[in-house]
Structure 1
Amino acid sequence: MAQKHIDEISGVETTGHEWDGIRELNNPMPRWWVYTFYLTILWAIGYTIAYPAWPLLKENTKGVLGFSSRAQVAAELNEAKAAQSVFVEKIAALPLAEIVADPELAQFATAGGAAAFKVNCTPCHGSGASGGVGYPNLNDDDWLWGGDLESLYTTISHGIRYDSDPDTRVSEMPAFADILEPEQVKQVAAYVVSLTGTPSDAALVEPGKQVFADNCASCHGEDAKGGRDFGAPNLADAIWLKVNGEAEIAAQVSHPKHGVMPAWNARLGDATVKELTVYVHSLGGGE
């Protein structure tokens, strides 16, 4: 058995480790630290007895206090819903104009609509509601079906070309490839481009204007500024939903794309649809 070594200066036993003539002292831990360590062990044991802790095969120990973090969250959510119910009931009962006219109610509806938008609408319209090709930008004042409160409410409630809702908004642009000659399609595309830019061939504009008057003005208007009664877009404002160039305009004329928007009233309820309406109107709603 090796003889213990005692440090000559401190009188403390060493561990037996030595580096370059320096020996490591085997000082005991301070008593306060040891007692604190033991206390933490006792505290941990008591905690696992009082609260859910140990995993079992199918569940976990419940703890003698019966505490559940899920139950606590559920209780807090129920409490929040109870506090919000007063505002939600008012929103469900009041017309949109009265909701917007009440500052406190309008603020609540806008916040609720923003939350509902993030969950349900961002996959198509984007987190900032700026849309994309085929998905409308809700921040501008360019609306296919109208941007006032009632028009927005109808669009959100019943959707667009949504077969499951009998009151959905419906409009379809004909496939003019079956109606017009290829040269006429080029002409009308050149005319449409000329309304906001420079066409590839200026000579096509005048005959294209006549093709437009004969085939397109009934929906888009003689001035090409659209018709909200049937969702015909304004072609004279340089804001494009499905196209971005003369060739794409020609393709849309020949074989138009038709988008679909779900009817949200059946999914979310009338109060939430009103909140969405107030929120979207706050982004860029217009008459």
Structure 2
Amino acid sequence: MAVEERDPVSGRPTTGHEWNGIKELDTPVPRGVLMFIIVTHVWALLWWILMPTWPMVTTYTKGILGIDQRQSVEQDLTAAQAERAAWMKAIETESFEQIQSNEDLMRVVRSTGRQLFGDNCAACHGADGKGRANYPDLTDDDWLWGGEVEQIAETMRLGINSRHQNTRVAQMPAFGRDAILDRTQVANVATFVQSLSNPSVTTPENGPQVQAGREIFLTTCAACHGEDGKGNREVGAPNLTDQYWVYGGDLQTLINTIHGGRQGHMPTWDERLTPAEIKILALYVNSLAAAKP
């Protein structure tokens, strides 16, 4: 009979195996692990019996409970489509004013509009609609083509400088590059324009420059931006007297804009989105500005 060898430290028997002077203890599997293995196997066996489990040649075992996840998904989709059809029909048929006065529909607009905005508009205007360099902020209630819901929907439908045959068209000439104004005149106009939104830049030293810029502005720029510089939404000319700028309102950026011109672009969405989706997006974008304190 072999003599059982025990570990001198733990007192447990060894298996007789040794690797590089390290002996393996004959330690039993912990009860907790055994219980876990037993419970999981019992659970798997019950699941095989109760639920659809094993694939066969042309079908599969249905299980005692007869649960069919494909049917469950189809039922959920059918219910969701029926619910969507109800509010979508309301949005399609009701006016903007009626929808805005219906809080239940506006909750749908804010939820669905947020998803549509994220999928189609956020790449340029940001997920929060606050824009970024060279793309306008949609939350400041300062609009190029008008901020009424109908006007927003029309801008989305037609686009700006897009391929739509009735697109909104807007372009600021390159006054310096095309030699309409010389370098001094460009700088004078830029200084005057900056003073419209920031009167503090006007000093006794640059007063003559501001006045010279104003005279050029009246003959060169006022046709679009107005004599008071407040813009014209009929032609997409921005207000130059506020603090909202698409390309920047510092002096150097203004000089660059006047010298090189600007021509923004927004695609037409009537080929990608349905009229109802454009309507939802217009209401959602309008609500961004309305919700801003």
2:235 maps to 230
2:21 maps to none
Q: Are the structure 2 counterparts of residues 33 and 224 from structure 1 closer, same or farther at C-alpha, using a change threshold of 3 Å?
A: closer
2:136 maps to 136
Q: For 1:17-166, what aligned pairs fall within 5 Å after superposition?
A: 17-20=6-9, 22-23=11-12, 37-38=37-38, 40-41=40-41, 43-44=43-44, 51=52, 63-65=60-62, 73=73, 75-163=75-163, 165-166=164-165
RMSD: 3.2
Query: Which piece of structure 1 moves more, 17-26 or 151-160?
Result: 17-26
Three-state SS of the structure 2 residue aligned to 1:249 is: helix
CA distances 1:156-188 after superposition (whole Å, capped 9, x unpaired) = 22211111x122211111121221122111110
Q: How far 1:257 moved relative to its partner?
A: 2.4
C-alpha contact (below 8 Å) 1:147/1:285 kept by paired residues: no
Query: Which piece of structure 1 moves more, 172-181 or 71-80?
Result: 71-80
Three-state SS of the structure 2 residue aligned to 1:87 is: helix
C-alpha contact (below 8 Å) 2:158/2:168 kept by paired residues: yes
Three-state SS of the structure 1 residue aligned to 2:12 is: strand
CA distance in 1, matches of 2:35, 2:132: 65
Q: Are the structure 2 counterparts of residues 238 and 37 from structure 1 closer, same or farther at C-alpha, using a change threshold of 3 Å?
A: closer
Aligned residues: 267
Q: Are the structure 2 counterparts of residues 102 and 27 from structure 1 closer, same or farther at C-alpha, using a change threshold of 3 Å?
A: closer
Report the TM-score, using the length of structure 2 for normalisation.
Answer: 0.79
Percent of pairs with identical residues = 34
Three-state SS of the structure 1 residue aligned to 2:127 is: coil
C-alpha contact (below 8 Å) 2:197/2:243 kept by paired residues: yes
2:17 maps to none
CA distance in 1, matches of 2:194, 2:185: 14
Which stretches in structure 2 are left out of the alignment for 5+ residues? 14-25
Query: Structure 1 residue 193 and structure 2 residue 219: aligned?
Result: no
Query: Which piece of structure 1 moves more, 170-179 or 37-46?
Result: 37-46
C-alpha contact (below 8 Å) 2:191/2:213 kept by paired residues: yes
CA distance in 2, matches of 1:28, 1:223: 88
